[in-house]
Chains A and B, each alone.
Chain A
């Protein structure tokens, strides 16, 4: 399986599209910038990428609230796995130090370590030198 590599800088839109192209498990992805704005989203044919992008910020708001109630400050990753599919979110910084939130919706049975790796490499590639 081809995995995402952090070789060159990408635009936000190119980044989410490449994540989908190279990660077979990912069905939709949305990228949020450090101001909380939707930077980009893309999806498999038929999926509502825009709707998923709108929910991406909400996912981390809820995760932060749940984390603080559990004594977990600074939630950086979220994984919610159901048999029919999963939702993975990562907060991270690109090579230029900018903060991003990338959320991916996957098919069921996706390996979380691989999905997280691909998401993290995608975020890193956003700021890598060309």
Chain B
């Protein structure tokens, strides 16, 4: 009887460990969206909050344009220079 209880306790422990691992994995895979004010205070945008989906959509489009994550990220290239006279010429040193 005692042995059976001990065994079921181990099974419950293993199940809880697996469930915790699944929760951690899901949490790690959830996108995190933060907005920061001038003072530096971070505001975590909850998935249910207004604007969350829109921010994620823009970010996903940017990530798509950035290419494959595992891709060799060098060398850098500048397909075109967009420096107008008001920007680049003023700042050129």
Binding site for B on A (CB under 8 A): 8-13, 16-17, 20-21, 24, 27-28, 33, 35, 37-53, 55, 58-59, 62-63, 65-67, 69-70, 72-87, 103, 105, 107-108, 112, 126-127, 130
Contacts and interface: CB of A to CB of B under 8 A. Distances in A.
Interface of B: 28-29, 31-38, 43, 45, 49-52, 54-56, 58-63, 65-69, 71-84, 86-88, 91-93
Contacts, number: 195
Contacts of A65: 51, 54
Main SS at interface, chain A = mixed
A50 B81 contact: no
Nearest to B31: A82
A78 to B, nearest CB: 6
Contacts of B54: 62, 65-66
A73 B58 CA distance: 20
Contacts of B71: 44-46
A8 B93 contact: yes
Contacts of B28: 83
A114 B60 CA distance: 21
A115 B70 CA distance: 19
Contact of B50 (A51, A69, A87): A69
B62 A127 contact: no
Contacts of A45: 71-77
Contacts of A70: 35, 43, 45, 49-51
Contacts of B29: 83
